Chains A and B, each alone.
Chain A
């Protein structure tokens, strides 16, 4: 008689695409307890089973789609992670997504799926409870995520949920992503080129529909904990959480512009004169289906930060979920485009093609600057490529996905684009992954997180911003009585490390959304996790230690893959060019002071390699 499992489903699926072998396997309870789920489980599997030197597109790279124990639980448990070796960075990729997909996978009875090998021809995986099968996908290959969803749901179940790649993933575009919900319900597992790995495996989509239940260890405490967390959410911090319901994340745009950290024209400055035209207010008035009100939520989430947009302007018409802040900033201010309808359309193209909006926008921004300095000849593009050109933005985003003409090199991402035209330093990236939209010169802790996050420049794996600008009480740094100086570098290395370790388990491994974490004390997150799973995780310090282990194992994967301390750097612009104007005028990013302290506090040597005693402390072999 097996013990009943709570929180998790207790099983996973292993799919060998090369020989179509599908196995349902019981989870190892010890591994689940140590690595919890999602991102933790992903790096554990990658470390055990994949040679870090493997080329990302080789069949022996694996793709893990994993949920956490709180995925499918309110308030805000809905995250699913895609973990693989990144074709963009050459290191670990772990892209998270909300929506409904992960919860539905669990209702089928599985916590995660491991894909290995490569299918001979395009396939998709269809899971309905115990029924798991690979089905032919040749008829949807080449289609965007919207049409793919419509066709595959018609032939499986209209209420199923789908994670699919678009043409970008099929064409091995290094910034291709995985989209759940098509264009009209788009939620993206965005970063690191995971869509291209799916494409390299000839795996078009995964479709899930389940009717099995998830059991909770202590329903009564669980309900009590939920009510408690609800309270925090009902009295949220004004600058961030309240705005999420009202404007969605796009509301952040005017805020970052006011702070002078809204990346503009390939991060040359942090203030955009067209910010009002592409901000939350303009969007709510013109294009938001529900105005300044919550439009759509992910599974189990009270926040409802997603927006639904409807554009009727000729040439840009269409409907879609989004845009959110990162997309509008990357495709808007970074390219200098202040025409919101065009920015929304570019975002819709990205979602349909299955391409990361952040990387796509920053890559176009890079091309525009290359042209501006004369490094990119007009004949290569076909026209004069100027900042602010909305038609060029749409043209290049389309070509990037299809790899047509000049699009071939764009599809390699901004770093390889810059390299080809002799200016890799104009790629605003870390580890070849494009920067999200907070200029690091004006948020030093967040900048250090960009430098050190294992999947390359990225805001989600440590949103130090929550303390530096968003005035949330997360991790206890900011309070009404005690402000955090965003320009200061003192204490920022420690702050970044604490964010990274905490997020590695509390956000990325249990399956709980960041936006809910912002308002929830750590102890309540632990209560929720323990009442759901019935497992004593040993308190906050022990869990943060697990987070540190997950983070360090990823670091080792990267080092073994060939990355090194030389990859831990922001582009020269942020280190040498003082911010030219706005509230951050004169600021640079003091990497030479922040990074050595970071290595030291991490227990790494000066080359960024974890010291043997640190590995021993964490129990990593």
Chain B
């Protein structure tokens, strides 16, 4: 399995239900500050973006971790935090290109998306499909199809002219 959470930006309504579901699922409380997915809202530009771990192939967080506290789960493909090993040094926080890892105030331990063991709750509760759980191969397939569609349209327009 090599699936990740794909963000369809244009479908996000900034309802932040993903944050609520993530925090209740993992911490049994409603608390966006503990959520492993965070919707960043830049209101004045009408811009909302759910930030969530992309489970990178050659993950910088894993590379920089000095204590082997970040380990890929072979079954789900998710990079998981081994709590006993984590020393809360924040190297992973700095290394992540998306800002998708944080360190919790309470226990000073890294907190990141583990794909809920292979069936992410946030995706299940995303009402308008802004979050999808997809094979990475499928993701590139979809992006390339979108790209081709665009090229096709501009060609057709040119031909029409």
Min CB distance A305 to B, Å, is 10
Min CB distance A77 to B, Å, is 10
4 A-B pairs with least C-beta separation: A213-B31, A213-B29, A211-B33, A297-B15
Interface 9-residue window, one of A11-19, A288-296, A612-620: A288-296
Chain B, Cβ-Cβ closest to A211: B33
> Is the pair B20, A184 in contact by a Cβ cutoff of 8 Å?
no
Given contacts A295-B13, A304-B15, contact A184 B44 (CB under 8 A): yes
Q: List chain B residues, Cβ under 8 A from A213.
A: 23, 27, 29-31, 34
Q: List chain A residues, Cβ under 8 A from B32.
A: 107
Interface string of A204-239 (1 = CB under 8 A from B): 000000111111100100010000000000000000
Given contacts A297-B15, A302-B127, contact A72 B30 (CB under 8 A): yes
Min CB distance B97 to A, Å, is 20
Among B13, B31, B40, point to the contact of A297 (Cβ < 8 A): B13
Given contacts A72-B30, A213-B31, A219-B28, contact A302 B44 (CB under 8 A): no
Min CB distance B21 to A, Å, is 8
Q: List chain A residues, Cβ under 8 A from B34.
A: 211, 213
> Is the pair A298, B15 in contact by a Cβ cutoff of 8 Å?
yes
> Is the pair A73, B20 in contact by a Cβ cutoff of 8 Å?
yes
7 A-B pairs (CB sep. < 8 Å): A75-B17, A184-B46, A211-B33, A212-B33, A215-B30, A296-B13, A302-B127
Q: List chain B residues, Cβ under 8 A from A100.
A: 16
Interface string of B23-57 (1 = CB under 8 A from A): 11001111111100000110111101000000000
> Is the pair A299, B29 in contact by a Cβ cutoff of 8 Å?
no
> A146 in the interface, Cβ–Cβ < 8 Å?
yes
> A381 in the interface, Cβ–Cβ < 8 Å?
no
Q: List chain A residues, Cβ under 8 A from B30.
A: 72-73, 213-216
B14, B30, B32, B44, most chain A CB atoms within 10 A: B30
> Is the pair A300, B15 in contact by a Cβ cutoff of 8 Å?
yes
Q: List chain B residues, Cβ under 8 A from A193.
A: none
Given contacts A302-B127, A304-B13, contact A184 B43 (CB under 8 A): yes
- Complex CA distance for A304 and B17, rounded to whole angstroms: 12
Among A159, A184, A216, A297, point to the contact of B29 (Cβ < 8 A): A216
Q: List chain A residues, Cβ under 8 A from B40.
A: 159
- Complex CA distance for A619 and B96, rounded to whole angstroms: 59
Given contacts A107-B33, A211-B105, A215-B29, contact A182 B17 (CB under 8 A): no
> A319 in the interface, Cβ–Cβ < 8 Å?
yes
Min CB distance B47 to A, Å, is 10
Q: List chain B residues, Cβ under 8 A from A299.
A: 15-16
Main secondary structure of the interface of B (DSSP, over half): mixed
Q: List chain B residues, Cβ under 8 A from A300.
A: 15-17, 20
- Complex CA distance for A302 and B20, rounded to whole angstroms: 13
> Is the pair A301, B15 in contact by a Cβ cutoff of 8 Å?
yes
Q: Which of A109-148 contact B (CB under 8 A)?
A: 146
Task: Show the binding face of B for A, using Cβ within 8 Å.
Answer: 10, 13-17, 20-21, 23-24, 27-34, 40-41, 43-46, 48, 105, 125, 127-128
Given contacts A213-B27, A216-B30, A296-B48, 7 further A-B contacts (CB under 8 A): A73-B20, A75-B17, A216-B28, A219-B24, A295-B13, A300-B16, A304-B127
Interface string of A294-318 (1 = CB under 8 A from B): 1111111110100010100000000
- Complex CA distance for A184 and B45, rounded to whole angstroms: 8
Min CB distance A460 to B, Å, is 21
- Complex CA distance for A214 and B33, rounded to whole angstroms: 11
- Complex CA distance for A185 and B47, rounded to whole angstroms: 11
Min CB distance A531 to B, Å, is 12
> Is the pair B46, A289 in contact by a Cβ cutoff of 8 Å?
yes
> A610 in the interface, Cβ–Cβ < 8 Å?
no
- Complex CA distance for A422 and B17, rounded to whole angstroms: 53
Chain B, Cβ-Cβ closest to A185: B43
Given contacts A182-B44, A184-B46, A185-B43, contact A296 B28 (CB under 8 A): no
Q: List chain B residues, Cβ under 8 A from A354.
A: none
Q: Which of A133-172 contact B (CB under 8 A)?
A: 146, 149-150, 159
Interface string of A10-40 (1 = CB under 8 A from B): 0000000000000000000000000000000
> A445 in the interface, Cβ–Cβ < 8 Å?
no
A211, A212, A213, most chain B CB atoms within 10 A: A213
Q: List chain B residues, Cβ under 8 A from A298.
A: 15
Min CB distance B99 to A, Å, is 12
Chain B, Cβ-Cβ closest to A106: B30
Q: List chain A residues, Cβ under 8 A from B31.
A: 107, 211-214
> A74 in the interface, Cβ–Cβ < 8 Å?
yes
> A181 in the interface, Cβ–Cβ < 8 Å?
yes
Q: List chain A residues, Cβ under 8 A from B13.
A: 294-297, 304
Chain B, Cβ-Cβ closest to A289: B46
- Complex CA distance for A300 and B16, rounded to whole angstroms: 6
- Complex CA distance for A73 and B13, rounded to whole angstroms: 16
- Complex CA distance for A214 and B19, rounded to whole angstroms: 13
Min CB distance B154 to A, Å, is 21
Q: Which of A304-339 contact B (CB under 8 A)?
A: 304, 308, 310, 319
B10, B33, B105, most chain A CB atoms within 10 A: B33
- Complex CA distance for A219 and B24, rounded to whole angstroms: 8
Chain A, Cβ-Cβ closest to B16: A299
- Complex CA distance for A166 and B151, rounded to whole angstroms: 47
Q: List chain B residues, Cβ under 8 A from A73.
A: 20, 30
> Is the pair A74, B17 in contact by a Cβ cutoff of 8 Å?
yes
Interface string of A82-121 (1 = CB under 8 A from B): 0000000000000000001000000100000000000000
- Complex CA distance for A182 and B44, rounded to whole angstroms: 8
- Complex CA distance for A308 and B43, rounded to whole angstroms: 10
Q: List chain A residues, Cβ under 8 A from B127.
A: 302, 304
Q: List chain A residues, Cβ under 8 A from B15.
A: 297-302, 304
Among B14, B44, B46, point to the contact of A146 (Cβ < 8 A): B44
> Is the pair B128, A304 in contact by a Cβ cutoff of 8 Å?
yes
> Is the pair B14, A297 in contact by a Cβ cutoff of 8 Å?
yes
Chain B, Cβ-Cβ closest to A75: B17
Q: List chain B residues, Cβ under 8 A from A211.
A: 31, 33-34, 105
- Complex CA distance for A184 and B44, rounded to whole angstroms: 5
> Is the pair B44, A216 in contact by a Cβ cutoff of 8 Å?
no
- Complex CA distance for A174 and B28, rounded to whole angstroms: 44
> Is the pair A308, B24 in contact by a Cβ cutoff of 8 Å?
no
Among A107, A185, A216, A319, point to the contact of B24 (Cβ < 8 A): A216
Min CB distance B125 to A, Å, is 8
